[in-house]
Structures are given as C-alpha cells and as structure tokens.
Structure 1
Amino acid sequence: MEENRSTGGPPRRRRTSNSPNPAKFLRRAMALLAGTLLAITSFLPAASAAGFPATVRATVAAAVPAINLDAPEPQQVEDQPWRDASLSPELRALLVVNAMTLEQKVNYLVQSGGPGVPELGLPAIRSKDGCCGLALEDTVTTALPVGVGLASTFNNTYARAYGAVGGEEARATGWNALAGPTMDLVKTPYNGRMWEDLGEDPLLSGSIAASQVQGEQGADISALVKHYNLNNFESRRGHVDVEVDERTLQETYTRPWETVVRDADPGAIMCSFNKVNTEFACGNAPLLNGILKTQLGFRGFVSSDFNAAHSFADYAAGLDVAGPGLEFSGPALLAAVQNGQVSEARVTDAARRVALTMFAKGIFDNPPPGSFVNPQPTNVPVPTNQLDAHAVIAEDIAEDAAVLLKNDGALPLASTTPSVAVIGSDADWYIDGGGSGAIPNPARLTTILDGITARAGDADVEYAAGTDPVSLADTLPGAPPIPSTVLTNVQAEYRSGINNFTGDTVVARSERQINLRTGISADTINTSQVPGLPVPLVSAPMSVVWTGTLVAPATGDYTLTMAHLGTARLFVDNTLVTTGEPAPYNQTESAINLAAGQEVPIRVEYTTDAPNQFNGGLNDQPGAMMRLGWFAPENALSPSIQEAVDVASRNSVAVVVARDYTGEAADRGTLTLPQDQDRLIRAVSAVNPNTIVVLATSGPVTMPWLDAVPSVLETWYPGQAQGTAVASLLYGDANPSGKLPVTFPVSEQQATQAGQQNTFYLINEVDPVVPYVEGVFVGYKSYTTQGLTPLFPFGHGLSYTRFQYGNLLSTPVVDAADPAAEVSVQVTNLGTREGQETVQVYVGNLPTVIPTPARQLAGYASITLPPGAAGTVNIDLDPRSLQYWDTAANGWVTPTGQVPIYVGSSVNDTRLAGFITVE
C-alpha cells in the first residue's frame, strides 16, 4: 500500500536567515550527541525497568553538560530538531522527551482524553476498540467477520487487508490507535470472547495477528494489541490468578506475542486484567520488563486494559500508560513522582516509548484529523468511498471465513431450487457478539434472510423464527428458557435493592421470557435483539417480579426449572412450589403435569442476594442471573417451533440459522445451542430431509442432530456482509474454503477430558486460582496426544471440490543451530469446480524425553486451482515447531534426531507423512 501523507499538526517553524546561529547549532549538535548515546543504551534491560541507567546518565551529562536528563529545560518552538523526518524515530523520540518538563511527560501519558503536548507537536494518545473493525457508537463503520473467522481463512493477505480496514477508518475518524487484534489464545471454548480471538494454535494466532497489525499500522496509526498475557477467559477476569509454569508460559502463550513483536512491531500492547502467578498482569515485572520488553525486544508502550492498573508500583514493573481514567495518571501520577512513589526516570522512559510510537508509526508527521482539537471531535463520519471499498473486503473475508463442516450433497443449492424455508430467530437480525469488540453500527448490513431472498430470485422464500432470539442470558447453563409462545404475557417489575418486592419500581416492561443476565454485553454494548437494563440496575443489587401465563402445548409431564444466582421463588397458580437458595449458581426443578391448552398463572420473585454478586465492578461481578426454564416432552413443540416445522414441510429446502450470543465479561456455561435450537433442528429435519444448518456461533457447539442433516456450514459472527456471503456460499457462487482454527468437541465431557475447563463456574469464587495443569497441551494438542476423536478437528474444512495430495518433499537435514526447513507438496483438484485448499504441515513428537505434542502445526499455505489442475505448494516450517522451551537453559532448545512430519487437510486428515533429521 502506498503511503499518502499530508501535513498535519502545528506548522514547522523554519529559519529565514541563511547565516547559521552558532548557539543553536551547538545546542542541536549536543542534543544529537546525547540522542546517539541514549539510543544505544535505551533498550537495555535496566533502561526498560527504571529509565536510563545511572552510569549512562553520568556519561551523557559529562559529555554534554547542557543536557539534563532528569529535568530537561524546555526548548524554544523554533528549535525543535525532532521535527526533522530524516532522523530515526528512536533519535526523534529521545530529542523530544529531552525537551519535556515533568508536567508535559505526565500529560503525555494519559490514555484517550489527555491533552498530549501540542506545543511540541505531539498529539494525545487516542485509541478505540477495534479487534474486528472500528467500534464506534456514534457513526457507522465496517463490520468485519470476527477474529475467529479471520483465523479460519488461514490467510495472511486477508489479515493485512482486514487490519487496513480498521486502521483506515480509525484514522479517518480521528483516532491514532486501534485496540486490536485480540490475540488471547483459545484455551477453552467457554470463553465469552473467543469469537474475537485467533484460534487455539500459537503459530496461526501469531501469524494472523502480525499481518493484521501490519495492515492497521499501514494507515499511519498504531495498533494496541491485546491482551498481554494469559487473558483466556472472562469469569472473574479482574482478580483471577492464573498459575502457569515457565515452559507453558513461553512455549504456548508468549509464542504468538513473539511473532507479532518480531514481524509487526506494534506501537502499543495492552496488558490484561488477570493475575499471572500471583501478580496482576499490568504490574507483573517478569511479564512486562522481563519477557515483553527485554526478551522479546518490544519497543513501544504498554497500556493497561480499562482500569487494570492497581498501583503506582505498576510503572516500575513495566507499565507505561495507565487508563482510561486518572486514578494512576495525570495529576495523580505527577504527585506520585513528586513524592517519590514513581521515579521521573521511569516516567521519562514511558514518555519516550509513547513518542517513539508516534514517530515510528507516522502519527507525528501525519496526525489524524482533529488530533489537536480538545476535546476530541465526535460523530466524525467515515468517507462513503472508504465504506464502499471496505464492504468488498468484508464480503470476501466472510466468504473465505466460513467452514463447511459437513456436506452430503445438499450443497450447493441449484439456482432452480423452487422454494426455500429460512428459519431462525436471528436470520433477519445483525449477528454479532457483545462488549467492546462488537461493531454496533454496521455500515452495509444484509441479514441472512435478505441475502437468501435476493439470491433466490423467482423462488419462493418463506421465513419462520422458530425460537425466541438469543441474548446474554442464554450463556447461562441449565434447561432452555420457556418460549414466549408457551409462557405468554410476561410482565417484569424491577426494583433497586435486595428483597425489595413492594417499593418503587425502577423499570416496568413486557418481556419475551424470564431470562436475565446483566453485564457489559447485555446492558452496555449489546447487539442482541433483547434489550438490557438501565443504570442503576446494570451493576447494583435488584429485586424482580415476573408474572405470566403458562399455556401447555401438549398434555404431559413437564419439569419447570429455575437456574439462578441469588434467591429465586416460583409460584404456580399463586402457590409457592419451590425456593432456590442464593448460592452457588444452581438449578432447582419442579415437576408438573399439564393438559394441552391449560392456562396456569406463573409468578417468579428473584433477588440478587448471593455473596459477592456485585463486587469488583463489571470486571468481576457475576451480576443478576435468573432463568425460568423447562424440560418438555419431545412431542410438546412450542407454537413457534411448530410454525417452523409447517414452513419447512412445504418448501423444498430448509435453511436453519442457529446462533449463540456471547461477549465481554461473560463466559458461557454450556456448549449447547441456546433457546432449544437443538429441538428446533431435530423437528425441522424430521419433516424436510434437505435441511441445511447455518451456524453463526462464537465457537464450538455440540450437535446432537448432526446425523439427521446433510449439510452444516459454520459462519461464526460473519459481519455486515453476512447475508450476501451466506447466500453466495449456499448457492455455490463462492466455494467454502475456511478451516477450523479451534477444535469442536463431541461433548462437554470430552472438552473437560481434553483439559478445556468450563470457566463459567468461577463466578462462585471471589478470587479464583486457576492452575494451567494441561501445560503445553492446549486444544488439538491435547486431543491428539490423548487419542481423543473430536466432532470436528482443528484444521477441518470441506469444499465443493476434492483435492489430492502427492509428491511430498522436505528438507532432509536441518541444522539445530538454525532450524530452517521447507516442505513442498503437489495438490491436484479432482473436482469440477475451482477451489482453494489450505495445506497444513504438522510435526510429531520431538526427539527428546521431554513430553511434546503428538501433532503440532509447523506451517501452512493455500493454493487455488481450476478443475483438473495441479500445483505445488511450498511451506516454510516455523523453527519454533522443532524446538521446546527448556527451563534449565532458560531458552529455546532444538533436540537432534528424526522428527516426523505430517501433511494434510486437518490435524486428523494427514494424507502424507515423512521425516526430517535435525543434526
């Protein structure tokens, strides 16, 4: 991408006289000398930990007495050598920081809301959420497919284009940093934010993230990559303590960060909320000063997650910018320096790091519009031509992100298909997650129903919702909520406080169901159809009374359930039938026999009186959790499911769009599709053998109906182009080519066996400690090493054509001192359609007594072939795949001997095998 630079910021002052000014010339020469000396030393570990080493400062002060590193004298506006773009970013940063007063340095270290240092030409840090496109609440932006979808493309070129979309829109609207990608390795499928992440493999995650960062920073902004390190789930994320051994920390969780720092040089990295080995990640010296800044050589600045700093001591541990908020920045930081809590040398180093990012990423020389307007302008639109161009990228990536999990011939649909039933409560809704990663205002939205209707042409398209729409409450484990067509006329009265069932009502409204979970992804940034609650109910104790009428769809024995945290009471026909204890989170059950059409009054009283239910703010509190559910006889279809069955029975094809809804600060407690969508799919497929399931999920789900349907397509949360992309895939205008970046377990029991903890239940603890006992065997590495056969393995993805592999060649002998190796394989398209295949290379157990994975991704590459054509794919193996982290040596080691290699279409579909010898 060519750079298109324009002049911005305060004008550069130029001398009008041709005669030199000796005094200024000498000052500049001394400044350059000082900068040169400091540039050599500023990346030493001591400098990272505590500013400039005393010996270096003494040397520089002796050589250039006029330069005082501790209390630099402000330079005149006309003498600002850091404006010289021919100087290196490192030198420019040293020069400008040397010109700053303490107050200017402190003002510069304010995250999103600070003044910057405009008198020196330095714009303030202005960062915005942007894992999956620019997340703005006040204007439309391009909604890209989510991170797990991007990872499914196994395509670094797409990742760069993906990053460019967010970077260019951030710049256009006045932001100079984009908080993304989210590269928290997927340790557990229960993670509420795994849809933002880039999969369970360190090589894939790091490679895709590095390319995304390159795309973002190509727009002359900085990436703010998150969340460093080990932020692998959301429950109690503000205080959970992750216990991890050194090998696992380095080999599994730090390895993607090594890639992104080495290959993309991000301007900023966001440290995470959680603790790592007893210390908060934003005040963890081994993580920040030791690994990130020294071992990995990270040059930019470390910014905390939202209020994830905990003390002024975090600065000494390696934090550079604390925020947003001013508890540990701004005037508070100034006072901390003045009273000796924080050294000025550390503040100087932090300011230098921020300045380096501004210079190195083009922000200083080409600041975004409005950079020097305070407060920052709002409601700045993205240019229409930019939105148009980005819409094409969003659609292309959505098509390539989709993974064809199963196809017994039902896909692609023929253009002559006479009629299509589209079923799903969110098939005609924008499908995205909740929280800061969500894009609330997609610019060019087509729903899946829109897309299929447009592509179907003259064919009949009939729609039925089938179930109620999903919401954050559907992350709660337990029986499915009673449908709104069974529990009718639900009225809710919300009051503040515990056990307050008669006081003033804060909110009174009709609701679809008795199904409640509060939190960031329900009440703050919520893209579901179900509205959240206003302040103060979002994060404060409450009491709720729900009333409704239960109308049984069929005669039989039912079980009414209450899944809840906090005391819940169920009244049936004005009689109290059960009381649920406040803690821990649990489900109570009440058996009841109902006759078809019988109307029964229902009342539920609920109050949030569980211990610590609202402690720790939105990062830690479980919040309100209450669901009235049911177990119904198999033949007791709700009227909404029965309507979907009727629609499916009279159309030639049925497309069921099944989804979940997860988000920030809310892990899901089950891998079951919410809102009884399993029952819906079983019922529809029973009357229409051409039932196609389109999954739009955050990650893996169980599929008890899999054998009953011919085709399943996983589209994740596919972004604004979900309608056009899904229709193109269903009708074969686009050929599915995505590969799973995560493993789909057969069951929750299998996930547990593979070490994938259900982290939802950590809500029952205030300060949980989670040992990472699986070590380096994360995701598919655990499945393959234990011999577990998942529902769908890592790397799996079908196509509308078939590929044959052959002629495997590999580097025969590899030097242990420089373990570079290459694999080549011939791929032939055996089908009648053009298609793309992603070839994956895995290494087997390494030649060492140290336990290593039975399969480990070592490289990948894609090839697109017309029908009948063959081509050669060359893949460089990542040297780290031939190494392990040796704790005794405190570094990577390469064991010598034979290493098995496996080449194929997934970790379980390895069609060729060989070996390389490491000497």
Structure 2
Amino acid sequence: MNNKVLLTAIISAMVMITSCKEEGKATSIATTNDSNKEITYKGTPISMDFESKIDSLIMEMTLEEKIGMLHGNTMFANKSVERLGIPELTMADGPLGVREEISRTSWAPAGWDNDFATYFPAGGGLAATWNPKLSYVFGNAVGAEARARDKDVLLSPAINIIRTPLGGRTYEYFTEDPFLNKKITVPFVVGVQENDVAACVKHYAANNQETHRDFVDVQIDERTLREIYLPAFKAAVEEAEAYSIMGAYNKFRGDYLCENPYMLDSILRKEWGFKGIVISDWAAVHTTKASLESGTDIEMGTPKPFNEFFFADKLIEAVKNGEVSEDEIDKHVRRILRLMFTLKTVDGKGQKEGSSSTEAHFKDAYDIAAESVVLLKNENNLLPINTSNISSIAVIGNNAIKKNALGGFGAGVKTKIEVTPLEGLQNRLPESVKINFAEGYKEAYKRDEKAKFGDITLNGPVTVNELDENLVNEAITAAKNSDLTIVFAGSNRDYETEASDRANLDLPYGQEELIHQLLEVNPNTIVVFIAGAPFDIKAVSDKSKAVIWTWFNGSEGGNALADVLLGNINPSGKLPWTMPVKLEDSPAHATNSFPGDDTVTYEEGILVGYRWFDTKNIEPLYPFGYGDSYTSFELGDLSINKSEFGEDETIDIKVAVKNTGDWDGKEVVQAYISKPNTSIERATNELKGFTKVEVDQGSTAMAYISIPVKELAFYNTDTKNWEVEKGTYIIKIGNSSRNLTMETSINIL
C-alpha cells in the first residue's frame, strides 16, 4: 500500500469514527440495522404540557404586552415581558453558520469580540454530499452554536427549489429535486432543534427568484405546487416537527405569502398540522388584520421605528376599534409561548448550553466539504496529483485567495478560520513542491454603472471582464515554469448574492479567456470551479483534462479541497442540479417564463431541472446526480423484496456495489422511477431513493434503498388527494439521472 492509499485509509477511518459518534447523537430519533441502510429522522413536537401556565400568563398580560410579542422590538428579537419573566425570543441568520451580532436597531455590526462562529459549507455543498447523515451533523453543530449565543430561533435552512441557474441564492439552497430536497432538509431541522433551538424553515413558499421578489405574483398550478415546491416544507413539518416557518416576500396567486390564508392556514396548519410559529421575512408584512388572521405570528422587519410595524401600534388600534379580536391576539401569543416553553427559554432550566467555534465543529465543516467536492472530468488520470513526479505547481486565480464567509447581500459568518484553496495547498503539499502563485484576474466591478436585468446582474455590481495584461503575463509565466497548473475560477459570494439574480451564465472577470491561455502554455492544467450555481463552462470543460466543481465550502474548505486534489480524499460529491450546455436549455428559460414582471407563471409545470432535460431529450453538459471518482464502481445483483405491492407497502431494493479500481471510495446509488402507459403527465424519470455507500478497493458492499409505495403518488387536482396510479412501474438504478445501468419492473395493485 503506497503512502497516499495509507493516508486515505487513515482519513477514512477518522471520518467513520466521527460519523459513528454523530450517529450516536441521533439514536433517540434514528433507527437502522445496517450501516448502509437509511436512517429515519424524526423530530420532537412542540410541547403541549404547559397550557395552564400559558393561560395564566396571558390572563396577566396587558394588550400592549401581548402585541409587543408579535413584532420585532430589535432587529432580531421581539419584545420581552420582564415583569412576568418572559424574555425576548431571539433570532439569528444561519444558512452558513450563526451570523455575527448586529446592533439592536440597525444592520451595523455590534462590534462584539465573542461572536465568532464556524463557517459551514453553503447549502449547495451540503446537498452535493448526497448524505443525510452529514445534514444532521451540520444542523446539530450549527444548532449548538446558536444555543451558545443564546439564540432561540435559527433562520435556516433555506430550502426553496432551484428553478433557474441564474438564481442569486442558488448557492444557499439545496437542489432542483423535491425528493433530495426533503431528504437533506429533515435531518438538518432535527439536528438544529435537538439543541433547544427552533429551526425557521424558509422561504415559504415559491420564492424561487430574487428578481422582483418583493412583489412578484407567482402562478403555479396545484399539482406542480404539491409535487415540486412543497414536499420539503411538508416533510419539515410532518417529519422533522419544525418549530417555525418563515413567510416569504413574494405573492402567490394574488396574495402576499404573509397574508395568504390558503398557504398559511389551509395547507400549513390544517393539512399538515403545523403547531409552531410563522415569522415573516424581514419587511414582508403588508397589512395588519389580513396578515395576522391568515396565520403570521411575528412580524420582523427592517430598521424603522418598531412601533410603526403593522403588528405594533396599528394592531393595538385595530383591537381597540374592534377590527381584530383580543382572542385572535391571544391565539398568536399562545403559539409563541408554547414554543418558548418547548425551548425552555422562559425559566432556562435544563436548556442545552451549546458550543461554538470548537475543533469538533471545524471537523464537521471539513467532513461536509470533503464529501461535497464534485469531480467532473479526469482525463489521463491527471488527478489526483502525484507529488513525487513534480517539483512545482502554478496556482492561478483570485479564487485561490478569496474568502467567502462574509460578502454579498445577506447573512455571512464572522469566523476565526477560513482556509483558502492556496492555504490548503500550502498546508498539504510537501516542502519539495514549490508553489508559484499568480492572481491572474481581479475581482473588479464598475460600480458607477446602473444595473439592468438582461445584460448585467440585476441590482448588483457590474463586473469588469477585461483582463489586466500584467496579471495575465504573471500567470502565463508561472504556468510555463511549473510542472502542473491549477487555476481556481468560478464565482464568489459578492457576485452570487441575495437580492440579485445573475443576468447570464458567463464566467465573470474575463476568466474564460485566461483559462484558455493557460491551457495553451501548460496542457497539464487542472481547472477548479468555486461557485454555488451553474456557469457556462462548456468550452473550458471541452479543452481541459481535469475539472473539479466545489462550493463556498466553509472554514475548512481549502484543506478539504487540497486533500481531494492530492488524493487524501477520494471525491464523492454529486451535482444537486443540472449543468446546462446553455441557459436556453433550462426549463424556466426554454419556456420564457423567467423572471416575469409583476407576475411569473411557471410554464414548465412539473418538469423542473433534470425532469425537463430527460423528458425533452435535451443533453446537459453534466447531469443531475453526476460526479466521478478516482476509483471505478460496478453496480450489479439488483434485487427487490417482491414484484407486486399494495399502497401501504415498501419497496426494498438491494444493489451490489463493487469497487473495481485502486482507491477506497464512496458511491451514491440512485433509484429513479418511471411509469409506462401513464394516464397523466409524468417526467421520464423521478428520483425516489438513494444511498451513499463506502466501498474499499477490490471489495463489494450492499446498497439498500427503501421506497414507500406512497412516494410514487401524484397529486390529483380533481379529488385534491395524493393517488398512486395502479399498474407497472420501472425502477432504474444508476449513479446519475443520465447513467441508469440497471432496471426492473414492479406492479402496484
């Protein structure tokens, strides 16, 4: 066994030990009989054990005290009732980790010296692991960090479906697929809430673009809404027992989401049985009576006098003049108090202590990042890098030194550790290998030009795409004088940002031209893209021997990436979305239904993401679920527990996964369903199961996938029920939506 293989084995063992420890944390909510079998995560519901105490508190409260609990009194907290021992309900942003402390009345940093936190990989990176266990690890760790900062509500996870590659928050969201989405969402929420912290699942719902997000009226047919855009929210409520939901900015079928009785009352509370609280996105409330009576519990907002909120003085006046009953006020206060008693915030007894910026949490961030890296291309085994054959490496690109914990418009993390790719290579390369660094291109903007959708980023900075000749010459010289070149390209969190969708898929800052010049002088060039959303990388991919895709990947992202490049970690990430050849191939753009104006209609219906590409026979550049490895796998011996099933039964699938290469590795076995002779519109393939399996070189492991027959249901808009169509289904097994190598049929009776 060579040194690299030995090191890989050691690291794998460390990861397995950590994984076992993490699984141990979940024993109260997870059961499994085999390491490769799926863990079932189940949350703890809102406690109903304190009703008499809550009734007593409400009876003692004045109207003004009650209404003070229904709106922001600081930027991230409602108002306390100190005389009754009711503290503020405190909140914090958290998709990348717990946000730094800000001032109580503005977005300015508070200037604390004890509000550092672990920077975790962005949502795209977490989803790319295709590993629900790591989602639980993420949620549990960030929940502990929120608890350590005395936060009651973590405004995370963000789980909106990725509808367009241009989405400004694609980096923060998980995936284009509703099934993968819910399988990542549920363990995350469970992990957070085990720390006496409420996860606030956002943004409910149909908030799939930043363009016109404050007012756009989203039109989605009912079947598409139920099958694509709501499953993860439904699972967060019914399986994970999410304690809070964030109402989105946009309208849905004419009503703003924070005053939408169909979404907030009919579906969320009556159908799904939600017992928690609905918190508005910041400044997403537009009315007093309608928003409150539709189901919004707490109005949060931007810095204006807090008494001017719709749920503040206006609500007091509405009660006093008889427009809103005090019983209605009591209903919302009761919901908030139930949550506070569940979180043990009223008296603080028995509440978890939490921990922040610990070595264990940095290790969690490393583990997630290490499994998220996607190997897109590797001709002639240029990867992993064999350091025994080289003496110098050219490291090119602003992204080699760019830090992404803070940046852009939206929540960042103030962290003590953020290892850049260059630092990761410096940490991991032997001293015998010299690094020749050149920035190559600058992250630069023309900030004096007005943003306009269609040619530049909407509401965002205008990028400078002309290369600096001196920087290019430095990069070319470094590449010529090095045995190997690694160019770090892609994007950053200043360019991919909340409140702004991108105008196109072009690589910014003139990167594509630079990469082509580097490939001409040094064919042994590895291209590493760091980004959260697809870009047009076809020309670069075609000409490059080795291409890697990685993410805004947290405090340990640079170390994890270096370990993948050097073979200390075998890449196992899979794309959580489809990489199109061109923008017009993507469904929202093929149907000319993005971004809309005052209204946007989702013309593609249920054919979102790979469903569109597969059904319309459009070849993607890289398909959903795709990711290569340094080893090779063969799937075989497909078996199913039986051939005929009733609606209440479960399809149990077993697949043998043989590692036929020279490296230990992990493969994601994916199960897709299709329905021949269907009576309704269906996608060609739909993901309905997956599992990640670790297999030693030369060995075979069994992959187990269980699919409840009810997962095959479609939403019947006539009966307003989920129905499983009878007849024959095809189960297809593979390692991406376009590489399904085995299939079998079953019959639903």
TM-score (norm 2): 0.86
Tell me by how many angstroms 1:625 deviates: 6.0
1:447 aligns with 2:420: yes
Percent identical among aligned pairs is: 32
Tell me by how many angstroms 1:917 deviates: 0.8
Q: Which runs of 5+ in 1 are unaligned?
A: 4-42, 44-84, 372-381, 474-514, 517-543, 545-562, 566-582, 588-620, 631-635
In 2, are the aligned partners of 1:816 and 1:896 still within 8 Å (CA)?
no
SS of residue matched to 1:426? helix
Residue 393 (structure 1) aligns with = 364
1:206 aligns with 2:182: yes
Tell me which amino acid in the other structure corresponds to 1:744.
M
Tell me by how many angstroms 1:318 deviates: 1.2
Residue 337 (structure 2) aligns with = 355
| 1:251–1:814 Cα change, 3 Å | farther
Separation in 1 of the partners of 2:676 and 2:589?
21
Q: What pairs up with 1:532-547 in 2 under 5 angstroms?
A: none
In 2, are the aligned partners of 1:755 and 1:782 still within 8 Å (CA)?
no
1:299 aligns with 2:275: yes
1:698 aligns with 2:698: no
Tell me which amino acid in the other structure corresponds to 1:697.
A
1:106 aligns with 2:78: no
Tell me by how many angstroms 1:771 deviates: 0.4
SS of residue matched to 2:729? strand
Tell me which amino acid in the other structure corresponds to 1:742.
W
SS of residue matched to 2:399? coil
1:183 aligns with 2:18: no
Over aligned residues, Cα RMSD in angstroms? Answer: 2.7
Structure 1 stretch displaced more, 451-460 or 663-672: 451-460
1:414 aligns with 2:386: yes
Tell me by how many angstroms 1:656 deviates: 0.6
Tell me which amino acid in the other structure corresponds to 1:889.
T
Separation in 2 of the partners of 1:827 and 1:86?
44
| 1:133–1:878 Cα change, 3 Å | farther
Residue 678 (structure 1) aligns with = 512
Residue 32 (structure 2) aligns with = none
Picking from 130, 148, 159, the partner of 2:94 is 130
Tell me which amino acid in the other structure corresponds to 1:173.
R
Separation in 1 of the partners of 2:232 and 2:322?
37
| 1:400–1:625 Cα change, 3 Å | closer
| 1:90–1:157 Cα change, 3 Å | farther
Tell me by how many angstroms 1:817 deviates: 3.4
Cα-to-partner distance string for 1:402-451 (whole Å, 9 max, x where unaligned): 11111111110113231111100131121357456543422222111111
Residue 404 (structure 1) aligns with = 375
SS of residue matched to 1:133? coil
Tell me which amino acid in the other structure corresponds to 2:659.
N
Cα-to-partner distance string for 1:514-571 (whole Å, 9 max, x where unaligned): x12xxxxxxxxxxxxxxxxxxxxxxxxxxx5xxxxxxxxxxxxxxxxxx855xxxxxx
Separation in 2 of the partners of 1:695 and 1:406?
12
Residue 334 (structure 1) aligns with = 316
Picking from 813, 817, 833, the partner of 2:647 is 817
Residue 10 (structure 2) aligns with = none
1:729 aligns with 2:597: no
Residue 616 (structure 1) aligns with = none
Residue 232 (structure 1) aligns with = 208
| 1:433–1:823 Cα change, 3 Å | farther
In 1, are the aligned partners of 2:244 and 2:279 still within 8 Å (CA)?
yes
Tell me by how many angstroms 1:799 deviates: 1.0
1:772 aligns with 2:736: no
| 1:686–1:345 Cα change, 3 Å | same
In 1, are the aligned partners of 2:588 and 2:604 still within 8 Å (CA)?
no
Tell me by how many angstroms 1:105 deviates: 2.2
Picking from 141, 164, 167, the partner of 2:140 is 164
In 2, are the aligned partners of 1:432 and 1:438 still within 8 Å (CA)?
no
Separation in 1 of the partners of 2:705 and 2:591?
31
| 1:586–1:199 Cα change, 3 Å | closer
Separation in 2 of the partners of 1:757 and 1:281?
24
1:742 aligns with 2:713: no
Picking from 543, 554, 558, the partner of 1:719 is 554
Structure 1 stretch displaced more, 398-407 or 819-828: 819-828
Tell me which amino acid in the other structure corresponds to 1:410.
L
Separation in 2 of the partners of 1:906 and 1:317?
42
Separation in 1 of the partners of 2:453 and 2:578?
30
Separation in 2 of the partners of 1:215 and 1:757?
39
Tell me which amino acid in the other structure corresponds to 2:185.
A
Q: What pairs up with 1:12-161 in 2 under 5 angstroms?
A: 88=49, 93=54, 96-97=57-58, 100-111=61-72, 112-136=76-100, 137=109, 138=112, 139-161=115-137
Q: How many residues align?
A: 681
TM-score (norm 1): 0.70
| 1:249–1:739 Cα change, 3 Å | same
Separation in 2 of the partners of 1:747 and 1:338?
58
Tell me which amino acid in the other structure corresponds to 1:468.
K
| 1:395–1:679 Cα change, 3 Å | same
Q: What pairs up with 1:365-764 in 2 under 5 angstroms?
A: 366=348, 386-408=357-379, 409-416=381-388, 417-432=390-405, 434-435=407-408, 438-458=411-431, 459-469=433-443, 515-516=446-447, 564-565=450-451, 623=459, 638-660=469-491, 661-703=495-537, 704-751=539-586, 755=590, 759=594
Cα-to-partner distance string for 1:551-609 (whole Å, 9 max, x where unaligned): xxxxxxxxxxxx855xxxxxxxxxxxxxxxxx88669xxxxxxxxxxxxxxxxxxxxxx
In 1, are the aligned partners of 2:98 and 2:413 still within 8 Å (CA)?
no
In 2, are the aligned partners of 1:207 and 1:260 still within 8 Å (CA)?
no
Residue 319 (structure 1) aligns with = 296
SS of residue matched to 2:98? coil
Tell me which amino acid in the other structure corresponds to 1:687.
V
Tell me which amino acid in the other structure corresponds to 1:643.
E
Residue 845 (structure 1) aligns with = 675
In 1, are the aligned partners of 2:195 and 2:352 still within 8 Å (CA)?
no
Picking from 658, 663, 670, the partner of 1:833 is 663
Structure 1 stretch displaced more, 749-758 or 420-429: 749-758
Residue 325 (structure 2) aligns with = 343
Residue 264 (structure 2) aligns with = 288
In 2, are the aligned partners of 1:172 and 1:368 still within 8 Å (CA)?
no
| 1:170–1:677 Cα change, 3 Å | same
Q: Return the structure number with greater relative CO, CA threshold 8 A, min gap 6.
A: 2
Cα-to-partner distance string for 1:786-830 (whole Å, 9 max, x where unaligned): 111100101001111111111111243454432522211111111
SS of residue matched to 2:485? strand
| Structure of higher CA gyration radius | 1
| 1:308–1:833 Cα change, 3 Å | same
Tell me by how many angstroms 1:622 deviates: 5.5
1:906 aligns with 2:740: no
Cα-to-partner distance string for 1:737-772 (whole Å, 9 max, x where unaligned): 11111000011232258748684x66xx5xx21100
Separation in 1 of the partners of 2:609 and 2:686?
11
| 1:841–1:628 Cα change, 3 Å | closer
Separation in 2 of the partners of 1:450 and 1:756?
44
Residue 633 (structure 2) aligns with = 803
In 1, are the aligned partners of 2:571 and 2:629 still within 8 Å (CA)?
yes
Q: Which runs of 5+ in 2 are unaligned?
A: 1-21, 26-44, 101-108
